[in-house]
Structure 1
């Protein structure tokens, strides 16, 4: 077994559904079905019409042969014919209606499940999201919901008629002849044993297939995203082998399932022929003994074929049940997850207007530790962000600079001390209101597929075109003026049709569209040349006068004019002050300045 297969087998071993998983899946199923009780009732009624029509036709056919034809009674023949026609119309109408209602029911439940899982993913914190993984969350939202939808549709259409058809057909057979009734009971039991063995063999494989889909999603997303790195290092062959091993493992399990299906089908078709021959043989003997009439043989064959036909259809639905149950369980895991970051039951209101304090945010002896870490990432930070001032944060890689920005947005909560925003502890404020008062440019400038205008209006959906152009001008995104479509220019997923510097400027413009109390720039100037960097900072100084600004950067030239510079050293506060003061008093900051000067005068370059 390859390393890739061992990885997947390990995942599958931890993904098996236990009793709690089944209980959670069934509870979720009841919640999803509850809003559609009347739709389910309509499905049942129309399905019964379909079954009654199907079973009534062979019964009338037998009566037609035994009475009307034998007695050469034209009126009776016409009467039976009309009854069969009515049964056909009722059965066909019920079949069409039941299929339509079942499709509508399954589609609605699938939609509700996708919406619930997606909405839950929006509530999860970063640490919560990591326990599932991006690839797995995509699978649970799309593939798993589709499996559940198909399970419901197939389950109703293919399994729904089975119990009623079997019971009624057997009772009708007993009404014709007890011997033939017992024969149909024996046939039904044999088919149930065959299907039981098929389910027993294939159910675990179906559960494994969903984990393989997870793995394929993860690897495909990883390879497609990192295709340039793979090509740059000539790793195509190795990565192809790793991906092929996952594909082969999935194909191997799928082949096993298909083998079970084909074996079951062959056995059922063989049994159908045996049953038909047996009914003819036993029926002829019973007719010869005057125990039954010859027309009843056709009815009995039809009863047997209907039982076996629906049982064959049911095998596909039955084999989907374990897979659907596994998918429901996986969705229930997401829906039952309690986010680490929660809103208070009664959120405090943030001040507005004249009541807004000059101190926009304060780190009050704040410490932070990731859930899986052995020590704090940030240690006892104590500084404030004030309105009208630019506060810069600088430090070596891994010193916790971006964590500060994420804590302000409450992507993480402090594990020690308090983080105040407009005088309120951020844990006492709703996440929506907090983030509505902050404008954020992430370290990775991510853009969404659509137009430039649509991306900019993520900052404010009501922003006018004039406001968008103003934000672009402040962000030094003059290249948009040169685009043929201007604001309507298309943006590919992630903004890959723009350069890194252009993406950063568009992300900055998006943040400037929002009128906020605090603007956070998380290393947002790293892809800009020194001239554009300087021009942008000059433009921002006049644009953000009434707000607090947090500027996280690696280059000293970007932050040297800040009103306050916070220097971090391995998550600890190494110094707070202005550039000239820190050069004299803070060894850590002075070392950063000197290293950048040695690398080419970056600290002094404008």
Structure 2
């Protein structure tokens, strides 16, 4: 029952993944807090370097007070170790306090930017992308990036500096033993290079699978009535289990890669430390090396264990963060390439004498349609006079809904243009176009807000009087009987209401702003006969003062219109009044016919 898919609009993935190149794209969001990040990183570097002074203090204690049997010197050395330890812990604590707030702000800014871009993307983008993939990018991926910026990014620098400084100290203590400890460096670099590419591919696969899993969960919650109604809960459970199993296998591969790298990174330095210990003991026994120097040397080597062993863990998080960055910018880059105004020609802004709504040679095909698929609309020419209501009639699949979506620029025409009151709609800002054109769809969408807030989305500045008038036109006074009246919060997508109630609220939302142009896509299909008659009577008054394009299936809805346009196979086949087309066009007469004859009944 459930079909999951990879987002077809994802950017093409390069043959070799560059984590550094991906993460550098975060700079515009990190730049405002760069000062605090630098201070935090410097605090951590200083703290780590203070930790490397502890072995040198131990050397002084062993070769000095201990060898000379000086108890006061031992106490002094112990105090120095205590001060160094407290200072190291304090600086690490300061770093965390400095960066916590700014990095939470970076995450919030990125999430706000992603949400804003999603709002500006055309409908065709959202048609192609599963919502779960977008949700995982806005939540899981951005949380991972905040974690990366707060810990791995800093400690890649801190541990790198610590390793370099520690190696210098080791070579100064005893360069021969230092070279023994540095022997594993070359094989570790090779291992990390191989690991990075493999882990990046596996991490990307896991993140995409999380998006697929999120999509299934969301669809199951929103479609719970269908699932229960058809008894498909076991099928959904099997689909969810299959996706979970695939994600589990991918996570196991990630864990296997990380475990293998970590084991090798731990084993190689441990072998080197063991070899250095044996050689150092021999040299101490031969009198070539002091005991304090050996203690300092081994203490420094042990202090470098965590910076070295953490390389695998830090690289893993870095690669996951790089893939999360790629996924974030897939949406942001698509927005830049597909925004509503990007592909639209620039209008000259010259007005023509004819007001009203005109479609001139409009063609449309979906961007991801097969190359051999016919266009949805083929050279549509249509004129709706000022103050006129035009009904749009056609068989299922003829392109009616697509045509109505072009007027408010939910989709962009492939060719041709649409003109409102003499101005090409591509020359209007989105804000101005939304003020001029109001829409109501057959499948109404309501939000988890109050009934009044849902209606006021059509005109946020409307007062109480206009709200009540819009509810009256749509015969939506039922909201007054809800538990908290108009302030009653509706369930997700308004599913606590009936289909007819949702349609009436959507219609009220469309008319509350007194739009210059009204586009209605079969807005009365879910109403009973008596409610439909009441809504139509009130709607006539609204239609008398606006220019409207109404998709209609029922003859009763068609009769609201001054004229009717028949859309057939993506073309306007005929235009005329309802009675004219009944007598002159066989296809129209067939569409309008029903059990009660050509003048009545529901044609569907």
TM-score when normalising by structure 1: 0.88
Give unpaired runs (5+ residues) of structure 2: none
1:309 to 287, 306, 311: 306
| Corresponding residue of 2:518 | 519
Distance 1:29 1:506 in 2: 42
2:362 to 360, 366, 382: 366
- CA offsets 1:39-84 (integer angstroms, 9 cap, x no match): 3321331122211221112211221222133334466445544543
| Corresponding residue of 1:318 | 315
| Corresponding residue of 2:575 | 576
Distance 1:42 1:56, change over 3 A: same
Deviation for aligned residue 1:265: 4.6
| Corresponding residue of 1:426 | 425
Distance 2:456 2:339 in 1: 29
| Corresponding residue of 1:463 | 462
| Corresponding residue of 1:387 | 386
Q: Superposed, which structure 2 residues align to 1:241-256 within 5 Å?
A: 241-256=238-253
Number of aligned pairs?
596
- CA offsets 1:271-326 (integer angstroms, 9 cap, x no match): 67656655544333222223332233332232222212122223212012222222
Deviation for aligned residue 1:106: 4.1
Distance 1:22 1:278, change over 3 A: closer
Q: Superposed, which structure 2 residues align to 1:546-557 within 5 Å?
A: 546-557=545-556
| Corresponding residue of 1:63 | 60
1:221 to 202, 218, 222: 218
| Corresponding residue of 1:286 | 283
Q: Which moved more, 1:496-505 or 1:364-373?
A: 364-373
- CA offsets 1:359-388 (integer angstroms, 9 cap, x no match): 331122333333325323223333323333
- CA offsets 1:122-146 (integer angstroms, 9 cap, x no match): 2222233445443322233333223
Distance 1:288 1:415 in 2: 86
| C-alpha contact 2:181 2:269 (8 A) present in aligned 1 | no
| Corresponding residue of 1:442 | 441
| Corresponding residue of 1:51 | 48
Distance 1:21 1:471 in 2: 56
Deviation for aligned residue 1:216: 1.9
Distance 1:578 1:596, change over 3 A: farther
**Aligned with 1:209: secondary structure?**
helix
| Corresponding residue of 1:28 | 25
Q: Which moved more, 1:274-283 or 1:150-159?
A: 274-283
Distance 2:379 2:281 in 1: 94
**Aligned with 2:391: secondary structure?**
strand
**Aligned with 1:515: secondary structure?**
coil
Distance 2:564 2:99 in 1: 64
| C-alpha contact 1:360 1:422 (8 A) present in aligned 2 | yes
Distance 1:93 1:17, change over 3 A: farther
| Corresponding residue of 1:404 | 403
**Aligned with 2:151: secondary structure?**
helix
Give unpaired runs (5+ residues) of structure 1: none
Deviation for aligned residue 1:172: 1.2
Distance 1:253 1:93, change over 3 A: same
- CA offsets 1:1-33 (integer angstroms, 9 cap, x no match): xx999x77x99x997543587686255234333
Distance 2:378 2:595 in 1: 26
Matched, 1:135 2:135: no
Distance 1:201 1:413 in 2: 41
**Aligned with 2:384: secondary structure?**
strand
Distance 1:590 1:454 in 2: 42
| C-alpha contact 2:258 2:316 (8 A) present in aligned 1 | no
Matched, 1:124 2:121: yes
| Corresponding residue of 2:482 | 483
**Aligned with 2:244: secondary structure?**
helix
| Corresponding residue of 2:295 | 298
| C-alpha contact 2:482 2:488 (8 A) present in aligned 1 | yes
**Aligned with 1:595: secondary structure?**
coil
| C-alpha contact 2:19 2:319 (8 A) present in aligned 1 | no
**Aligned with 2:247: secondary structure?**
helix
**Aligned with 1:71: secondary structure?**
coil
Distance 1:4 1:137, change over 3 A: closer
| C-alpha contact 1:275 1:304 (8 A) present in aligned 2 | no
| Corresponding residue of 2:153 | 156
**Aligned with 1:412: secondary structure?**
coil
Matched, 1:38 2:35: yes
**Aligned with 1:450: secondary structure?**
coil
Deviation for aligned residue 1:425: 0.8
Q: Which moved more, 1:500-509 or 1:461-470?
A: 461-470
| C-alpha contact 2:363 2:380 (8 A) present in aligned 1 | yes
| Corresponding residue of 1:92 | 89
| Corresponding residue of 1:377 | 376
